[in-house]
Structure 1
Amino acid sequence: MALPSLSLSLQFGDLKDAARHRAALPRHTVIRCIRHALEADAEITVRIVDADEGQALNREYRGKDYATNVLTFDYAIEPVVMADLVLCAPVVAREAKEQKKTLAAHYAHLLVHGTLHAQGWDHETGEADAEAMEAREIEILAGLGIKNPY
């Protein structure tokens, strides 16, 4: 079965330790992670930001005044998935260290997570939805050679 097509814009904000984050997110890896999570063709922008930008976006769009690991801005699901995924580099790095994961593996998980959100998956609507989304993430990540992140 062919994977959906993806038009990707990969952007890096003004980051401390930018080389480390760029090394963990080569374009071909970002494309692979997202395409494996897609159920339809997509146009997605992935932006890697610092804590200030991440906090400002989370505050403005979700009313939560802290930087979070990934924000998904979904604009369309059909006929083409259109979304922006914003990943906060310092939060991702801190979580990877706390969870004893590689930075690349944690980014892969969050790319899959954000891509599922862009397609309507939601873990905040109830326990059954959260369990279904986690199971789907685990399945996709296993297909990418990444162990269960939970």
Structure 2
Amino acid sequence: MIDLTLQQASASVVPEESALRVWAEAALEKQHAEVVLRIVDADESAALNAAYRGKTGPTNVLSFPFVVPDGVPNDLLGDLVICAPVVEREAADQGKPVSAHWAHMVVHGMLHLQGYDHIEDADAEIMENREIEILRGLGIENPYLEIQPE
């Protein structure tokens, strides 16, 4: 079970909280966890991306895992920050339903909070395969398939 705290800091239309919760819970690999999901516009995403990753411009999802001190019981996984305008643009550019791309970004971020990464090729393959499996369970196509032009 997931305790999801939603912070809507974007003027964009976003999926219902119930959908966000289903997607986050599908990627949860433990019994219980707390996650803060903040939905932002491009300016906030760009500022966070610069401050924490040293990169210019907004990005689709940022994850901030909570590091629990030894011996302290805590279910907080961390915070996810998703940039609504970037998700919308990427979905359009990739020819995907926007809800499917939202689901992918939530699942992707949740996996990051649980220690998955994609810096090294071997780790990327593990993470991508896990994403594909979770999304398939939600009835969503493989997000890494190339879109064929019509």
TM-score class, shorter-chain normalisation, is 0.7 to 0.9
* Partner secondary structure for residue 66 of structure 2: strand
Q: Counterparts of 2:95 and 2:103 in 1: how far apart (Å)?
A: 14
Aligned partners of 2:10 and 2:84 also within 8 Å: no
Q: Counterparts of 1:81 and 1:35 in 2: how far apart (Å)?
A: 14
Q: TM-score, normalised by structure 1?
A: 0.88
Q: Give unmatched runs, 5+ long, in structure 1.
A: none
Q: TM-score, normalised by structure 2?
A: 0.88
Query: Greater Rg, structure 1 or structure 2?
Result: 2
| Count of aligned pairs between the two proteins | 139
1:114 has 2:109 as partner: yes
How far residue 102 of structure 1 moved from its aligned partner, in angstroms, is 1.3
How far residue 93 of structure 1 moved from its aligned partner, in angstroms, is 0.7
How far residue 81 of structure 1 moved from its aligned partner, in angstroms, is 4.4
2:6 is matched with which residue: 6, 10, 24? 10
Which residue is 1:60 aligned to?
51
Q: Which runs of 4+ in 1 moved over 3 A?
A: 76-79
1:36 has 2:26 as partner: yes
How far residue 46 of structure 1 moved from its aligned partner, in angstroms, is 0.8
- Pairwise CA RMSD of aligned residues? 1.4
Which residue is 2:138 aligned to?
144
- How many percent identity over aligned positions? 52
Q: Counterparts of 1:98 and 1:104 in 2: how far apart (Å)?
A: 14
How far residue 99 of structure 1 moved from its aligned partner, in angstroms, is 0.6
Q: Give unmatched runs, 5+ long, in structure 2.
A: 145-150
Aligned partners of 1:44 and 1:85 also within 8 Å: yes
State which drifts further: 71-80 or 131-140. 71-80
Which residue is 1:99 aligned to?
94
How far residue 12 of structure 1 moved from its aligned partner, in angstroms, is 1.2
